[in-house]
């Protein structure tokens, strides 16, 4: 018991200041249990919180409990129970904790002194730790996650905005003496000294029988607790959503919400631990409160993923490891397909066997710390902790085969969770044994491996899925969650079609593609593999919830089932399924806009638009009718969010495999154009076509030269033997769907429209005044050549900005373009910008001049770059190529598409290059530029193909890590596009029959 004092008879009454975050009730409920034990030991506790007072006073009635209603952080802002608004979260934290920071610290230091606090406890308020340090008081955090870890992913998407928030939070936590770490914890490198404590769970007040008696329910009634943290007040619940004989206890329902008779509204102050213990399962989102109480009281938990909250994957994996979780698809939650999930939950046997007395244990440690016991160690300095905690080290995306890009602390966290499978060590020149095992397992009926080690590895993975035994499934469920879903995907006696498509490195051209520029793109070594199988609906192996859905519809119908590897450490659901009839409106395909809304309903499964969208495009554009079910397995080593077209690789590989499985003869170029429709219209990203063309049509160790009008592949340009290209990832997440990219595209199309109008005006004046020499002089006729009217006619009907020469732009049009223009003003003057994939926001101001200038000059730079590649092999050639790349990089910046990380990498390349020159040494690196859509992502570097260049690339990688804490991923090497790869048709070999 905590009430039993430390040895030595110290009976001193202690004063604790306990700060509680403003995010959700789960934090307050676990604080209650720790506070209860502290007060039972005779101490005084001041709770600083924005949570309702009844959360504490219902459980603790004592004059030693003081509640102070103050909000010092806001947590994550949620649009609804399952959707976190990342940018709003950062903005609100800035307003809540950053803007008033000075006054907060002054107020808290004075208050802590006034109550004579002996110890500050934080769950998990950052500024509380700093205030304690300023007041000369020790502090301890009790938590399973920290806000620097959660917010880090938000900052990735926010670009440069609010990055200082992460630094500030990490610095605040670094003042904390000790972390009491709860089960299901996330990586928290800002804390040096850690003590693991058991689950903190509220105690039971009543037995299951007592609660059911009060509710008037017998043991034959099945009871489910509906708990989404008080958020679902507006959701419509229907009687037929529950199986017969079930009742649902609804937490957080408003008084105005009308509930069916089999749904029971709980009072806002209902004591949920008792209700949980009296129920048969719980349906809700995973937060610490619901997670811990479900584990502690062995209640099956049917959960729905919450997007963009990085605490969840760690809790989810622990829940499933102890056989306590069933995942429900959000679409089924909102449409009432609950039955199969609830019934499956009843078959679980939750088996958590850890301690549940974390409140008592934590209280004892807090008491000891306040009395002077030291738990400090000499593990790491505060500077090192901060170095590990900075934003660029918190990437969740994994790149199979290149773990070097993952911070050490994160790798350790994965290993602790058992999430990282053993790496596949397959060498290109030493894969005979693996190849033989693949050939033994599968008969290759069509295609060839092309000596690609990643394809051999993928076949090896397929082989392992096909032979996965039940014992492995049961004993290693946590390690093999995605593999278990994939193993149940295919009919291993039927043909499987495999396609492969690489990502791409944007050497030159980038965002000028949508303006018709020449671009030079290199397919990279990293690629996506997709395996597809078609089956008659009666033979299709279906997941349980899919079976239940089809039973309701009266029988088997064609279904699409997808498994995506590499999703478990993001909040991306690893599986997706839908009835193919969902893509039909009568006998016609649904509109792309409807499909875009369909996939946007569930952010955790939004990724499926890239895969399933290929099916709808084939239906719409080619009129193909899918009568069979389709199974798709996606495994990509192209890192996401790094500007190397991971999405294009997925789209092209998927469409290529589906086409092969259905006998569709589609050219590589047409596949690329179709995949662009997927991204533009179904995903909703306004990209050009160069990504898909490179992934589909590229060749290894060559630059694909394409004029994007719309997609004319000119030639494959061989990379001279003395030249080499690398990519270095900045660690800043890039998204083509990001607002910066879209606004620059809008600005370019605005500029195009203005130029055409200006050309029309000049042409009209030229024709009207052709006979007046005096008026011609007024128009500065020296600007016009004899065929000036023909040029103006062409420019008045200009389809692509890149068809305008640089000198014509500079002479006639540049001075008339505004730097910025508000959308409303443009629409009033010009009606429309004539871009089919972007929409002008009337209230937004768009950069016009820089966005228009960039593609015109970029097209010239790319043409010069291409010509220089075939020039003599001299330093002057490399210097000129590098200079063109530098010019491109800074032009991106003028458009507003730069980033701190990519700028830093380019500066490091320049420093290495200039250092060599100043010492009269031959430079090995000559230039660098941001790639793709900009605003982060990867930098392309050009250098001499020699060992010294590789050493300098490694030096830049290490210097960037020292400066930012993030170790850049190095893209090095090339591989063939999907067209050159073709496809594999494989079938599992039958085991020899015994005589």
pLDDT, tens only, 139-198: 999 999 999 888 877 776 665 567 778 878 888 998 998 999 999 988 887 887 889 999
User: Quick one: pLDDT at residue 936?
Assistant: 81
Contact 861, 899 (CB under 8 A): no
Confidence of residue 314 (pLDDT cuts 50, 70, 90): confident
Could you check whether 15-201+362-397 and 436-466+482-719 share the same CATH topology?
no
For residue range 493-502, what is the model confidence (pLDDT) as tens digits?
Answer: 899 999 999 9
- Local confidence band at 82 (pLDDT 50, 70, 90 cut-offs): confident
- pLDDT digit string, tens, across residues 942-972: 999 998 998 999 999 999 988 877 788 899 9
Distance CA 389, CA 383 (A): 10
Tell the residue number behind the tokens 């919180």, with chain if given: 49
Beta strands in 300-356 (DSSP E): 301-303, 325-327
Q: Which CATH class is domain 739-766+793-972?
A: alpha beta
The whole-angstrom distance between residue 737's C-alpha and the CA centroid of its chain comes to 12
Mean pLDDT of the chain: 84
CA 951, CA 949: separation in Å to the nearest integer?
5
- The answer on pLDDT for 470 being more than 80 is no
Q: Are strands 820-822 and 194-196 parallel, antiparallel or unpaired?
A: unpaired
pLDDT of 412 reads 35
* pLDDT top residue among 147 and 466: 147
- For residue 783, give the nearest of 812, 757, 809 by alpha carbon: 812
Q: Distances in Å between the alpha carbon of 565 and those of 399, 485, 692?
A: 11, 10, 21
- State CA 995 to chain mean position distance: 54
Domain parsing of the chain, residue ranges = 15-201+362-397, 208-347, 436-466+482-719, 739-766+793-972
User: Does residue 984 surpass a pLDDT of 90?
Assistant: yes
Cis geometry, peptide bond prior to residue 710 (ω within 30 degrees of 0)? yes
Q: What is the DSSP-derived secondary structure letter of residue 323?
A: T
Residue 401: pLDDT over 50 = no
Count of Cβ atoms closer than 10 Å to residue 552 Cβ: 10
User: Could you identify the residue written with the tokens 């492969």?
Assistant: 500
Q: Among 3.40.190.80, 3.40.120.10, 3.40.50.2000, 3.40.50.80, what is the CATH number of 15-201+362-397?
A: 3.40.50.2000
Dihedral angle, C-alpha 552, 554, 560, 561, nearest 10 °? 50
* 700 φ/ψ angles, rounded to the nearest 5 degrees: -60, 135
CATH number of the 436-466+482-719 domain: 3.30.230.10
Give the mean pLDDT of 319-329: 88
pLDDT at 234: 64
pLDDT of residue 375: 75
Rg of the chain (C-alpha set): 31
Question: What pLDDT, on the 0 to 100 scale, is given for residue 846?
Answer: 95
Q: How far apart, in whole angstroms, are the C-alpha atoms of residue 977 and residue 704? A: 10
Q: What does the alpha-carbon distance between residue 296 and residue 30 come to, in Å, rounded to a whole number?
A: 13
- 3-state SS assignment for residue 988: strand
- Identify the weakest region by mean pLDDT among 471-475, 510-514, 882-886, 947-951: 471-475
Residue 414 pLDDT: 34
| Lowest-confidence pick of 116-130, 536-550, 787-801, 905-919 | 536-550
Q: Are strands 496-508 and 584-585 parallel, antiparallel or unpaired?
A: unpaired
Between CA 331 and CA 628 the distance in angstroms is 23
- Sign of the torsion formed by the C-alpha atoms of 744, 745, 747 and 752: positive
H-helix or E-strand containing 564?
strand 559-564
- What Cα–Cα distance (Å) separates residue 117 from each residue in 43, 110, 134, 254, 372? 11, 11, 13, 39, 14
φ and ψ at 501, to 5 degrees?
A: -140, 130
Q: Is 512 exposed, middle or buried (0-12, 13-18, 19+ CB in 10 A)?
A: buried
Whether the pLDDT of residue 409 is over 60: the answer is no
How many Å apart are CA 212 and CA 218, to the nearest integer?
Answer: 7
Q: What is the DSSP letter of 936?
A: S
C-alpha–C-alpha distance, residues 328 and 30, integer Å: 26
Q: Are 280 and 222 in contact (CB under 8 A)?
A: yes
Give CATH for domain 208-347.
3.40.50.2000
Contact criterion met (CB below 8 Å) for 692 and 647: no
Full 3-state SS string of 645-678: CHHHHHHHHHHHHHHHHCCCCCCHHHHHHHHHHH
Q: Token pair of 664, please? A: 């569709």
Closest Cα partner for 330 from 606, 538, 710, 591? 606
pTM of the predicted model as reported, rounded to 2 decimal places: 0.75
Q: What is the pLDDT of residue 480?
A: 54
> Which residue, 91, 87, 183, 73, is CA-closest to 130?
73
Span 754-778, mean pLDDT? Answer: 75
Query: Do the beta carbons of residue 959 and residue 533 sit within 8 Å?
Result: no
Nearest CA to 182 out of 296, 283, 52 is that of: 296
Looking at the annotation, which residues are catalytic? Answer: 691
The whole-number average pLDDT for the span 307-322 is 82
Tokens for 327?
């995942």
Q: Comparing C-alpha atoms, which of 851, 848, 858 is closest to residue 817?
A: 848
Q: What percent of the chain has pLDDT over 70?
A: 85
Residue range 113-122: mean pLDDT, rounded: 97
Q: How far is CA 805 from the centre of its chain?
A: 40
**Measuring CA to CA, how many Å separate 936 from each of 395, 449, 903?**
13, 34, 9
User: pLDDT for 729-741, tens place per residue?
Assistant: 987 765 554 457 8
Alpha helices for 725-813 (secondary structure H)? 739-768, 773-778, 788-796, 806-808
From start to end of 81-162, where are the E strands?
Answer: 83-84, 119-123, 139-143
The token pair at 334 is 């909102």
**Most confidently modeled of 553-557, 560-564, 868-872?**
560-564
Length of the chain: 995
Residues 139, 121: contact at Cβ < 8 Å? yes
State the number of CA atoms in the 13 A half-sphere of 874 facing the CB.
Answer: 5
Give mean pLDDT, residues 779-793: 64
């Amino acid at each position: 018991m905590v009430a039993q004092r430390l040895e030595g008879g110290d009976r001193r009454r202690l004063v604790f200041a306990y700060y509680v975050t403003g995010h959700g009730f789960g934090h307050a409920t676990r604080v209650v249990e720790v506070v209860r034990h502290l007060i039972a030991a005779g101490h005084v506790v001041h709770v600083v919180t924005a949570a309702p007072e009844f959360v504490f006073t219902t459980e603790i009635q004592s004059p030693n409990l003081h509640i102070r209603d103050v909000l010092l952080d806001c947590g994550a802002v949620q649009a609804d129970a399952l959707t976190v608004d990342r940018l709003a979260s950062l903005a609100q934290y800035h307003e809540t904790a950053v803007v008033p920071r000075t006054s907060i610290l002054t107020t808290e230091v004075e208050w802590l002194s006034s109550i004579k606090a002996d110890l500050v406890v934080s769950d998990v308020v950052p500024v509380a730790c700093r205030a304690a340090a300023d007041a000369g008081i020790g502090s301890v955090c009790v938590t399973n996650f920290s806000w620097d870890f959660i917010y880090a992913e938000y900052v990735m998407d926010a670009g440069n905005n609010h990055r200082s928030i992460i630094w500030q939070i990490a610095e605040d936590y670094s003042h904390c003496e000790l972390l009491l770490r709860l089960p299901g914890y996330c990586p928290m490198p800002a804390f040096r000294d850690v003590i693991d404590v058991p689950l903190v769970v509220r105690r039971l007040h009543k037995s299951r029988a007592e609660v059911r008696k009060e509710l008037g329910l017998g043991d034959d009634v099945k009871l489910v607790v509906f708990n989404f943290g008080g958020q679902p007040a507006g959701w419509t619940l229907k009687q037929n959503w529950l199986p017969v004989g079930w009742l649902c206890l609804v937490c957080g329902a408003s008084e105005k919400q009308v509930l069916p008779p089999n749904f029971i509204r709980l009072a806002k102050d209902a004591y949920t631990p008792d209700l949980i213990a009296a129920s048969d399962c719980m349906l809700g989102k995973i937060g610490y409160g619901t997670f811990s109480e479900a584990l502690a009281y062995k209640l099956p938990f049917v959960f729905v993923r919450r997007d963009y909250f990085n605490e969840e994957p760690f809790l989810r994996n622990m829940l499933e490891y102890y056989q306590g979780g069933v995942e429900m698809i959000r679409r089924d939650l909102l449409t009432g397909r609950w039955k199969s999930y609830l019934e499956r939950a009843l078959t679980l046997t939750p088996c958590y066997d850890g301690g549940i007395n974390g409140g008592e244990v934590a209280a004892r440690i807090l008491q000891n710390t306040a009395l002077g016991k030291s738990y400090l160690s000499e593990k790491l300095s505060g500077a090192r902790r901060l170095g590990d905690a900075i934003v660029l080290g918190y990437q969740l995306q994994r790149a199979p085969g290149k773990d070097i890009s993952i911070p050490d602390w994160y790798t350790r966290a994965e290993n602790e969770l058992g999430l990282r499978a053993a790496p596949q060590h397959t060498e290109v020149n030493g894969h005979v044994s693996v190849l033989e095992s693949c050939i033994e397992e599968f008969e290759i009926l069509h295609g060839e491996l092309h000596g690609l080690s990643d394809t051999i590895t993928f076949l090896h993975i397929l082989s392992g899925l096909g032979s996965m035994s039940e014992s492995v499934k049961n004993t290693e469920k946590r390690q093999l969650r995605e593999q278990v879903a994939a193993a149940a995907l295919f009919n291993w006696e039927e043909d499987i079609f495999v396609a492969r498509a690489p990502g791409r490195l944007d050497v030159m051209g980038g965002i000028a593609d949508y303006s018709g520029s020449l671009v030079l793109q290199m397919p990279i070594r990293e690629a996506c593999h997709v395996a597809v199988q078609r089956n008659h609906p009666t033979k299709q192996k279906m997941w349980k919830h899919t079976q239940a859905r089809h039973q309701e519809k009266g029988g088997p119908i064609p279904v699409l089932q997808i498994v995506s590897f590499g999703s478990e450490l993001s909040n991306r659901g690893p599986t997706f399924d839908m009835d193919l009839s969902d893509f039909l409106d009568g006998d016609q395909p649904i509109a792309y806009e409807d499909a875009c809304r369909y996939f946007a309903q569930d952010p955790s499964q939004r990724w499926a638009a890239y895969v399933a969208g290929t099916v709808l495009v084939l239906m719409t554009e080619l009129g193909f009718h899918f009568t069979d079910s389709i199974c798709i397995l996606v495994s990509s080593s192209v890192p996401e969010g790094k500007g190397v077209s991971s999405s294009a690789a997925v789209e092209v590989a998927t469409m290529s495999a589906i086409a092969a499985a259905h006998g569709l003869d589609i050219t590589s170029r047409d596949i690329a154009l179709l995949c662009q429709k997927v991204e533009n219209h179904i995903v909703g990203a306004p990209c050009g076509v160069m990504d898909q063309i490179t992934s589909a049509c590229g060749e290894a160790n060559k630059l694909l030269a394409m004029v994007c009008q719309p997609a004319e592949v000119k030639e494959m340009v061989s990379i001279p033997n003395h030249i080499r290209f690398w990519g270095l990832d900045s660690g800043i997440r890039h998204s083509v769907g990001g607002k910066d990219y879209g606004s620059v595209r809008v600005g370019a199309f605005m500029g195009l429209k203005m130029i055409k109008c200006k050309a029309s005006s000049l042409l009209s004046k030229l024709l009207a005044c052709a006979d007046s020499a005096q008026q011609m002089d007024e128009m500065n006729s020296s600007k016009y050549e004899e065929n000036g009217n023909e040029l103006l006619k062409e420019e008045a009907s200009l389809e692509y900005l890149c068809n305008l020469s640089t000198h014509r732009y500079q002479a006639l049009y540049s001075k008339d373009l505004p730097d910025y223009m508000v959308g409303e003003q443009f629409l009033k003057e010009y009606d429309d910008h004539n871009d089919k994939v972007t929409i002008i926001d009337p209230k937004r101001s768009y950069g016009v001049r820089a966005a228009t200038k960039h593609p015109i000059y970029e097209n010239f730079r790319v043409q010069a770059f291409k010509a220089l590649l075939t020039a003599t092999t001299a330093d002057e050639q490399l210097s000129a190529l590098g200079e063109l790349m530098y010019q491109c990089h800074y032009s991106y910046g003028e458009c507003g598409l730069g980033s701190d990380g990519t700028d830093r990498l380019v500066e490091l390349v320049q420093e290495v290059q200039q250092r060599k020159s100043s010492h009269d040494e031959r430079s090995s690196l000559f230039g660098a530029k941001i790639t793709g859509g900009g605003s982060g992502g990867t930098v392309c570097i050009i250098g001499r193909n020699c060992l010294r260049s590789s050493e300098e690339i490694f030096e830049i990688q290490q210097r960037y890590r020292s400066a930012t804490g993030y170790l850049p991923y190095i893209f090095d090497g090339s591989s063939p596009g999907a067209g050159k790869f073709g496809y594999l048709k494989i079938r599992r070999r039958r085991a020899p029959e015994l005589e």
